[in-house]
Each structure stands twice: as C-alpha cells, then as structure tokens.
Structure 1
Amino acid sequence: MAGDMNMRNFLVWAILLLLLLALFNMLQGPTREPAATEVNYSRFLDQVEAGQIRSVTIQGDVITGETANGAAFRTVVPGDASISEALRNSGVEITARPASDGNGGIWGLLLGWFPMLLLIAVWIFFMRQMQGGGRGAMGFGKSKAKLLTEKSGRVTFDDVAGIDEAKEELQEIVEFLKDPSKFQRLGGKIPKGALLIGPPGTGKTLTARAVAGEAGVPFFTISGSDFVEMFVGVGASRVRDMFEQAKKNAPCIIFIDEIDAVGRSRGAGLGGGNDEREQTLNQLLVEMDGFEANEGIILIAATNRPDVLDPALLRPGRFDRQVVVPNPDVTGREKILKVHMRNVPLAADVDPKVVARGTPGFSGADLANLVNEAALMAARRNKRVVSMADFEEAKDKVMMGPERRSMVMSEEEKRLTAYHEAGHAIVALNVPGSDPVHKATIIPRGRALGMVMQLPEGDKYSMSYKQMTSRLAVLMGGRVAEEIKFGEDNVTSGAAGDIKMATRLARAMVTQWGYSKDVGLVDYGNDQGEVFLGQQLVQSSSVSADTAARIEAEVKRLIQAGHEEAHRILTDKNDDWEAIAQGLLEYETLSGEEINNLIKGVKPVRDTYVPPKAGSDEPPAGAVPEVAEDDDEIGAPGGLSPKPGPA
C-alpha cells in the first residue's frame, strides 16, 4: 500500500513537471525566422538575370531564398522547369527539398495542442481527487489509520507480562467486544476510551497490540503526529475519515499512539495556540462524545505526558479509563525476562529471578535490550548458549556503559581514580541507611574513568531524611578522598558530576520536600520543570532575594554536612580505605563481597578479572540502581548518581 502511494505521488509530480515545461515552451514560442517578402515570379526572374539572388530553397512549387543584400523573399513557380538552369547560370546556391505530404501538418497540430491537452488531463485528475467529499487533493484529508491484520506474529496477553493490573482493565474491554450482552443485561455500557499512561518503554504499544490480538475485531492504529499537517483543516478531516472507516467496521478498536502530539491543552501556548492542532482536537472530542453517537467504537490511546493533555479529553464519556502502565517490580521483571528469554538458548546456570533482582528500575524495553545484549555477547564468543556470566556483563554494560579497556591511563591517573572510588565505597559502607555496594571499578566505562555501583535491598518508592543525608556523604566521598590523599592543591575536576548530583539532591530537599526548618514547608520547585501543567500555564514562582539567599544557604549547609561526614569516615577508616584502593589498583574491579573481604584482610582468589557468578553478590531485591554517571569532564574519575527522591 505504501509503495502504491509513493508511485502515485511520483506520477503526480512528474505530470506537474511536464506541464510546467510545456507551458514554458508555449510562452517562449518557436524561434522566429526573418519575415519573407512575397515577390511575383516575373520580378524573381529579373532578379535572377541581374545576379541579385544569393541562395534559394526549392520545395515543390514554392521557392524561398535570400537576395544579395540579405533580404528574405518567397515566390511560387508556375511549373517552369527551366528555372533551375537559369539559377545555375546566375551562380545561385540551390537547395532542394521534397514537397510536403500533408502529415507534417497533423503532427504540428498535435504538438501545438499538446500543452492544452496536458492541462485538461491534469485538471480532470485533480477534479477526480476532489470528489471524495472535501478530503483535499491527493488524499490529504484521508485518514492514515492502518487496519492491523497480523496473520503471523500475533501478540496476545500471554506475550505481555509485568503489568497485571493494566491487563485486567483491558481484558474487560476485550470481553465486552466478544460478548456485549454479558454486561448490557445489567445496564452496563461499553467504555468509549482507555488511556494508557506510563513512562517510555513500559509496554503501552505492546499492550494495545495484545488487545488487538485478543479481541478478534478490526483494529485501526495511527500515531498522533499523523493528524497534524501544514494545511489548516486537514487534521480534522482525517479524524472524520478515521471514524467513518471505523463505523463501517464496528465493533472495532482505534489505537492512537502518542496522543499528546494532538491532544495538548488548548490555549496554553505562549502567544496563542496552534489553530490546526486545536481544530483536530476539537473534531476528536466531537467524534468521541458529540451529538452523534459512535456505538461500538473503542478508542485506546497511549502517552507518557498525561499532564499536558486537555481536560476535556480526560473526562468520563471520552476516556472513561486511565490505565497506568508503570515500571515493573521485581516479580514483574522476572515475568518479562521469561517472555524475552523464550527464543534464547539458555545455559543451566541462568536464573531469571536473580537477573530480575539485579536489574532494579528497568522497564520492559530495558529488559528486552538486556536479553539481546547478553545474546550478542555470547554470539561474539562463539557460544551455543547464553550463560549467567553473559547476563552479568550485559547488565554492567547497560547500567554503566561499555568498558574502554583500550584506553591507556597513566599510573598517576589510575592511582587517583582508585582512591577516589575507594572513598565513595568506604563512605557507602559506613553511613546509616545506605544501600550495599554492588561493585567498584576503575576500568573506564562511557565517559567516566571509574565508578561505584550500589543496589538497594528492596523496592523503594521514597527516601527518608537519613537516607538522603547519607547519600550526600557518599557523593562527597570521592572529593574528600582526593583532598586527604593528594592535598587540596592537587584536587582534580573528577568530582564535578558528584557535586552536581549532590546539589540537585540538596536543592530538592530544601525547595520541594520541606527538609529545612529555616525555609519551611513551602514548595519553591514549581518553576524547575514543566512549562505546562494541565490547562494552567505555570509562571516562574516569584522568590524574593531574601528567600533565595536562605535557600542557597540551606543547600550549602546540607552539602557541607555531607562533606564533613565523609571526611570523618575516611579519617576513622583510613586503613579500610587504603585496602580498597590498593585492591582496585591490583584487580581493577571488585565485587561487593570482595570489598568486604579486603577490609577483613582476605584478598580475592583470582589473577584476572572474572564477572561475578550468579547470586554471588546479588542483593535479595532491588529498586533503583545507584551507578556512576558520566562526569562533566572527560578523563575525570567517576562518581555516584543519586536515586530519585519521594515525589
């Protein structure tokens, strides 16, 4: 279908190009020769005898030529055969051409009328295109919704895991389409719309495809951006055409992906709204719950920006159900991994539960990418099955970036990185409320020269004040380590990323979460993010200079307190810190268990780095991984990234 449309558009533009060329030729006209003077035959003979003729062209009974002074002339010969001899005797240059048979006139006529015929043909083509009820030339106003017919690769609810509540909500819609009388005899009405809300990668589109596979009814799919064009009124026309197609196939389902592209709040833009987009939204609202009912048509939409949608779109009667599709918990991650591992040959040591516990915060798309990366790593090593070691290495690559073992570091940089990361690790082991250290490495990954990764012991949805202050101390551990070991004059820019993350966390504690008695329980963070919140345009909050100064003072106080706590721990635990740093210099990468053993004086039993085995240092469960993020300065030691705080 797409190929036919492309060929059709190509032919249209080719015809238009030919038309323009023909019109250009018509305007230019043929190259005109000098006008010939008509002379009578007797005068022509006199000029020949007087030697006043330079050249002639004889074509049948007509002679055209040029006089000695360059004037063109034309005359008709009355069947005089002796004229050729007279011309030769006078030294005239003679050119003979055959007489015309009459066909040239017809072809000339056709060529002359060709531009007009082409213009008429193009006009007829446009008129036929415009006979579709005001849809616009070349189908601009036609709906781009595609009827999903998956004869192979059909997706069902068995292929969707980790979002049981969302599946239950949509399963009811499927049952309603299969057996409406089951609900109608109790007075129930079929829901008109379901809005899938969730972060990117959680499986909203996959869930909609599963609804199509389960329902067994026509399923139209379209993207929100397919409605909007540069021509005003096209989007509304496409909405009308889409619902016309749906009425012919009712009962059916229409799925609109990324509906926020067309469903943003009306009148919320700076300097006025977008007329074309707002007209499209108005038409969509009318079709969903307007004067004319559309029975048997269920609209399913997906978005990760519900805050910008128009309130009229979210009210009951339009999107009756708002189904949240969140990131999965540890149980959901295990189910998702099993789905993606179906077609992957696994080794006997692979345990999806262990992999799920080691991938906190991953979405469905992240888990699919993890399984794919593990399979690619096993294939590169010519393995026949994917082992747990491949999953462990793929997890580190996804969470921390690929290793850059080819990067050559000087001994001084390597030593500084080792003490920097050891500072993070030792502070993390000695502050209250901190998550266990999962791994520490000085092998460059991404843009960082080293990093320490922590994994929480359980799924977390908020952070306490003690955990936040401990987090600030951990973030300051690398900078304090450089100050103590190398002196303040030799401190590098390696803590730039740590300082940025600590500042964000401390500012959120003061301005959003009410952890400052001096500032109080006031939210000063509204102007930090979104420009639009629902229908209301949020203006930058007016903070007085005195309040801003107090906020900055509180942020500085919290960060300084973390710095002092890290300094105390590194001073008290200097021997443990030194042991971890020396272990990193020798082995480059240490697991959490190996770090604890080094503190006890037990060295790792290995010569080279081997990825940890399944379950060796995995925490019982996980929520959001704390991994080193890229530093602002390339070549600077890595730090630790903060976890998101409570909303």
Structure 2
Amino acid sequence: MQNKNTGENKNNKNKNYILWYAITAFILIYIFSTTKNFITTQEISYSAFIEMIKTNQVERVVISSSEIDIIPKENSERNNGKLLYTGNVGDDNLVELLIENDIEFTAKTVQNNFMTEFILTWVVAPVICFFLLRFFFSKMGGRMGGSSMMKFGKSNAKVYREKDIKITFDDVAGQDEAKESLKEIIDYLNHSEKYVEIGAKLPKGALLVGPPGTGKTLLAKAVAGEANVPFLSISGSNFVEMFAGMGAAKVRDLFQEAEKNAPCIIFIDEIDSIGKSRDSQLQTNDEREQTLNQLLTQMDGFDSTKAIVILGATNRPEILDKALLRPGRFDRRIIVDRPDLKGRIDILKVHAKDVKLGEDVNLEEIAKSTPGAVGADLANMVNEAALRAVKQGRNVVMQEDLREAVEVIIAGKEKKDRILSPKEKRIVAFHEVGHALVAALLERADPVHKITIVPRTMGALGYTMQLPEEEKYLVSKEELINQIMVMLGGRSAEEVVFNVITTGASNDIERATKTARSIVTLYGMTEKFDMMALESVQNRYLDGRAVRECSEQTSTMIDEEVLKIIKTCHENTKKLLEENRDLLDKIAEYLLEKETIFGDEFMDFVCEKYPELRNKKSKENKEEKQELVEE
C-alpha cells in the first residue's frame, strides 16, 4: 500500500511539473511573440515609403501579399537599426518606380516563412523553455532542502530532530502544574508499548491555554526535548490559503509527515486561526472550515498506537469549535497561566543563569515588584538590566540595573529633556505624594516602594510604585475600596492644596472607575444588586474585557451605583488628606528637592506622626520573612 501511494505521489509530482512548466513556457512565448515586432520593426506610412525611394534612402525591398519590408541605406535618416515596413496597397507603378531608382526588390514566399516561424515559435521554443525551467526549478528545489516552489499542498511544518532540541523542563520555570500534566505524555512517547499492552489509550491531543508570553511554545518544545522525539511545529495561520482545498491538503501532508517520524509531537501554534467555532452566522470562511474539517478527520483517523501526540496552543479557548474539544481530539486542557511569586523567582533565576550578577542582586525583590508579569516580560527585564550595565561601563549586573529595568518596562525610560515649569512640578509632586500618603494611612494597602517626579517616555510625569507584601488570590471589598482611594489620592491632593483640577489624573480615574464597576457588576459586592451577574468576562487570557449582560434600564442603575462608590471614595480621600495636610506639605517639599525618594525615607516622615505604623509594618515584614523561611 505504501509503494502504491509513493508511485501516485511521484506521478502527481510529474504532472505538476509538466503543467506548470507548460504554462510558464506559454507565457514566455506569448510575451516574446507580442514584443518581438515592437522591438525589431517599425511601421511607416506608404507615402513615407515612396518619399524614401525618391530621395534614394532605400537599399532593398521585400514584397509580400500583405506588407512591404524596407531595408534603408546606412546613411538614411530613417536608419535606426529597425526593419521598416508598410502595408501593400496594390500599387501597379511600384515595380517601375523601384527599377527606375535601381533598388533591389524580391518577393517573400509566405508558406515557407510561415512554417519556419510556426516551428520555431511553437515547437522549438517550448521545448527549450521546458528544459531550462526544469533545470532551474530543480536547482532551486535543491537549495530549499528538496522542496519545490510548486508544492502548494505541502504543510511546510518545521521539523526539529531529536538532536536539534536542546530545551528541557529545566529551562521552563514557573509552570510546575503544567509540567506535571505533561509528564504522562512524555512517558507515553517513550514507552508506548506498555500502554498498548494494557489496552489504555492516551489522549491524542492536549491544548495549552494561557495569556501571551507565558511559555506555551517553550513548554511544547520542552516536552519533545524530554521525550527525545522529533517535533513538528507549524502555526495555524499557515493552513489558511487563498485557494480552496489547499489548507486541507496541508493538514493531510502534515499527518503523513508525522507518521513517517513517529513517535513524534505535532505542535500547532495559534490553533484558533483554523479552529474557530463554525456556529457563527455573521462570518464564514469555506476554506477555513474545510481545513478544520480535515483536521478533525485526521485526528480521528490516525493510528493511536503510533505514538503521535498533538499539542495545540491558544489564548482564546472560548472561540474554539466544540468538535475540536470533544474526547478523542483535544480532550485535555493544560492551563499555562501567569506565574505566582515563587514562579517569578524561578523564571528570573533561569533567565539570569547566563548573566553575570553582582553580589547585591536580590531576585526576590524584583519578583515582588512585578505581579502579573509573564515569562517573556521577566526575560525582557533581565536583558534590559544587562544592557544598562554595559552602558554604565560595568561587567556585572547590579540590583539598581534590575530595578531600573522594571521601571523601564512599566513606565518607560526617563525623559530628562522634558522640563516642567515650577508650578507644574509642584502639582506633580503633591499629586504623587497624595497617592503615597493615602496608601500609607489606609489599612491593607500595598506599601509604597518609590515616589518620583522624573517624567517617563510613556507619558507619566511622575509615578508612585507600590509593592505587594504577599501574593494575593482573594481580594476583599475593603481592599478594593482602598485601592480606589489610593488611585484618587493624586487628584484629591491637587484639590486640597491648589484648589485646581488638572489632566494628570486621567489614568487614575480610568482605573478607579473600572475597579468600581467590577465591584458592582462582577463581584456582587453591593446591596442593590446583591449577587446578580451583570457582566461576563470575554477573552480572559487577552484583554479580559467585560461584556454587559443586562438591560438598558439596569445599565443606568449600574452607572448610578458606580458613581456613588467613586464619590464616596473621593470625599473620604479628600478628608484624609485634609487631616494630614502637614505631612502632605512636608513630604512634597522634600520630594521637590530630591525628585525621587524610596519607601523607607517616605515612611520615616509618616512614622514621625504615626509611630504605631512602623511597629505594625515591622511586625508584618517579620511574619512575611518567617513564612518564606518555612517555605
């Protein structure tokens, strides 16, 4: 059966060669025949021809039934290297005129010239073009690894052999649960016979789901590296073609290639490109649906005893077709989520192992300052720190390089050429101290790490950085309200001190409103709506945008409730700052002088007035350190 398929593939390949070579030859001949006369000949009027005869500019004339070819003399003003011709108008006096002017003339034999031209144009030229093109494409195919440019049905999957994959689970940090779920697949690839013997059938496909940058592709390569098997990698968008049926042909070719390399792993990145649900009535794509149908058929059809595992990756699992997720296809979902604190520390260690670090480097501090960061973000931060160390003329990365790298990723580089007026600088200083002071005076608010009024390239004229004391998975309503008050602390400070309203709080207002709306619509934390779900989150692993699920009348009530929360937080924040106006002025003046102050300096001012806060923070830090030691 295999030999028969091989013979059919060779025949199809030869047919494709002949077809495309013939088409190319025809195009070349057509272009040659249509441009030949334009390049080598030039038509003139019959009267101009008679004038040339009378002025002795004609060397020789060839007469046929339809036209007259004119060879001008070398000294003729019309001699431009082209053959001149004009139409034969049946002039009876032409022969006498030629004889009188002693001009040589002959008659063209139409039949012989026609046959010669036909043979040269439609027989000899196609054969020559055929062999030249075949030679050219065979050379090109050899340079491209044996693949022909004409094979539109080839999957073009990148094949990594066992020796090419150097990535293992040691190179993937912060995803312990995902790695544990994939160990069973690795054992199946290495020892498939014991599963076959007992009659067990492992899942044919596993879907890696998570936000961008969490390491889904890296994890798939690590599975192949651990199992020491070939790895066929392709993106879902590569299957989408302009011609109907080409995507399905690529799917068939992919699985044929996998069977030749079994045991192996097929990895389809961004599988949502072809696996989008077919239930949508708004937009359809026949080519994509044919490709999806072929993928479903192939997943059902290939022999499970050949140890072929299909891994797919996506950050939009909610739009995938249900048929793709049923048992027997992608029936395992492995979450590759954002790493926690311990995971971020491990990821930083992996990316920093090849970087020369100074003795003062504390990766735990960097991990704490980057909640929500994914592996790609952390790798970028380590690289930015290394680049900064080189710019500073050092051969090791210091802690200040890593801190600056975090700020560059979050807020951009320092924009030292942006000079604020003294009034604007004071407003920015009080704005940032307003944020920090509210955070310090409220309970269960993240402590302040840094306050600066140095402008950044991403538009911030200054910012206040808070570092969470611990990794939080549950947030209370009180903590959310405190977050809103901290966000509104900047605008409130401007109102308390200057009695003005500026545009500097636009981002604070946006985030505060979003948090207040989530309290009402997502978390069920208001008495008015109790635990009624008013919005649902779409694209959880992308932007996480909420979609309304209520009537217009209810939306109006939601807006009123959100406004009520914002107003209450605004009033309480202004009241808190008015009660501590002395601290606000003192810290802001110090910030204007230093431009940047850190959390310890800031807390020294606060604890002069509230000594109990220092004891409380010290106790919290001690408990936190004890927990880390126990871990």
TM-score interval w.r.t. the shorter chain?
0.7 to 0.9
Measured after TM superposition, the shift of residue 181 of structure 1 is: 2.9
Is the partner of 1:194 in helix, strand or coil?
strand
Measured after TM superposition, the shift of residue 386 of structure 1 is: 1.0
Cα deviation code 1:311-359 (max 9, x no counterpart) = 1111221123211111112221122111111211111222333332332
Matches within 5 A, 1:7-156: 18-22=28-32, 24-25=34-35, 73=94, 92-94=101-103, 111-113=120-122, 117=126, 121=130, 138-149=150-161, 151=163, 154-156=166-168
Cα deviation code 1:350-400 (max 9, x no counterpart) = 233333233222211111001100000001112111111211111121222
Matches within 5 A, 1:587-598: 587-598=594-605
Matches within 5 A, 1:473-492: 473-487=485-499, 490-492=500-502
Where does residue 210 of structure 2 map in the other structure?
198
How far apart, CA to CA, are the structure 2 residues paired with 1:425 and 1:146?
52
Is the partner of 2:531 in helix, strand or coil?
coil
| Match of residue 496, structure 1, among 497, 506, 513 | 506
Is the partner of 1:18 in helix, strand or coil?
helix
Where does residue 568 of structure 1 map in the other structure?
575
Where does residue 644 of structure 1 map in the other structure?
none
Where does residue 344 of structure 1 map in the other structure?
355
How far apart, CA to CA, are the structure 2 residues paired with 1:108 and 1:415?
90
Where does residue 273 of structure 1 map in the other structure?
284
Where does residue 438 of structure 1 map in the other structure?
449
| Match of residue 588, structure 2, among 581, 601, 617 | 581
| Match of residue 531, structure 2, among 518, 521, 527 | 521
Is the partner of 1:438 in helix, strand or coil?
strand
Where does residue 286 of structure 1 map in the other structure?
297
Contact 2:174 2:342 in 1 (8 A): yes
How far apart, CA to CA, are the structure 2 residues paired with 1:441 and 1:322?
44
State the AA in 1 paired with 2:201: K
Counterparts in 2 of 1:16 and 1:109: CA distance versus 1, 3 Å:
closer
Q: Are 2:231 and 1:224 aligned?
A: no
Is the partner of 1:349 in helix, strand or coil?
coil
| Match of residue 219, structure 2, among 207, 218, 225 | 207
How far apart, CA to CA, are the structure 2 residues paired with 1:479 and 1:569?
13
Counterparts in 2 of 1:71 and 1:354: CA distance versus 1, 3 Å:
farther
| Match of residue 179, structure 2, among 151, 163, 167 | 167
Counterparts in 2 of 1:104 and 1:511: CA distance versus 1, 3 Å:
same
Measured after TM superposition, the shift of residue 422 of structure 1 is: 0.9
| Match of residue 368, structure 1, among 375, 379, 400 | 379
Measured after TM superposition, the shift of residue 124 of structure 1 is: 10
Contact 2:368 2:467 in 1 (8 A): no
Contact 1:374 1:394 in 2 (8 A): yes
State the AA in 1 paired with 2:564: R
State the AA in 1 paired with 2:604: N
Contact 1:141 1:237 in 2 (8 A): yes
State the AA in 2 paired with 1:496: S
State the AA in 2 paired with 1:330: L
Across the two proteins, how many residue pairs are aligned to each other?
551
Measured after TM superposition, the shift of residue 530 of structure 1 is: 5.7
RMSD over aligned Cα atoms: 4.3
Measured after TM superposition, the shift of residue 218 of structure 1 is: 2.1
Where does residue 3 of structure 2 map in the other structure?
none
Measured after TM superposition, the shift of residue 183 of structure 1 is: 3.2
Counterparts in 2 of 1:552 and 1:359: CA distance versus 1, 3 Å:
closer
Contact 1:267 1:273 in 2 (8 A): no
**Structure 2: any 5+ residue segments left out of the alignment?**
1-16, 47-52, 72-87, 139-146, 610-620, 626-631
State the AA in 2 paired with 1:160: V
Matches within 5 A, 1:314-325: 314-325=325-336
Identity %, equivalent residues: 43
Contact 2:438 2:489 in 1 (8 A): yes
Matches within 5 A, 1:464-475: 464-475=476-487
Where does residue 406 of structure 1 map in the other structure?
417
How far apart, CA to CA, are the structure 2 residues paired with 1:294 and 1:181?
8
Measured after TM superposition, the shift of residue 141 of structure 1 is: 1.8
State the AA in 2 paired with 1:220: L
Deviates more, 1:167-176 or 1:114-123: 114-123
Measured after TM superposition, the shift of residue 462 of structure 1 is: 2.6
How far apart, CA to CA, are the structure 2 residues paired with 1:114 and 1:243?
42
How far apart, CA to CA, are the structure 2 residues paired with 1:338 and 1:416?
41
Measured after TM superposition, the shift of residue 140 of structure 1 is: 1.8
Cα deviation code 1:111-156 (max 9, x no counterpart) = 443797279949998xx99xxxxx9992222212121137467211
Measured after TM superposition, the shift of residue 300 of structure 1 is: 0.6
Contact 1:455 1:619 in 2 (8 A): no
State the AA in 2 paired with 1:408: I
| Match of residue 188, structure 2, among 172, 176, 195 | 176
Measured after TM superposition, the shift of residue 600 of structure 1 is: 4.4
How far apart, CA to CA, are the structure 1 residues paired with 2:22 and 2:581?
78
Q: What TM-score, normalized by structure 2, do the two folds share?
A: 0.77
Q: Which has the higher helix share?
A: 2
Counterparts in 2 of 1:106 and 1:291: CA distance versus 1, 3 Å:
closer
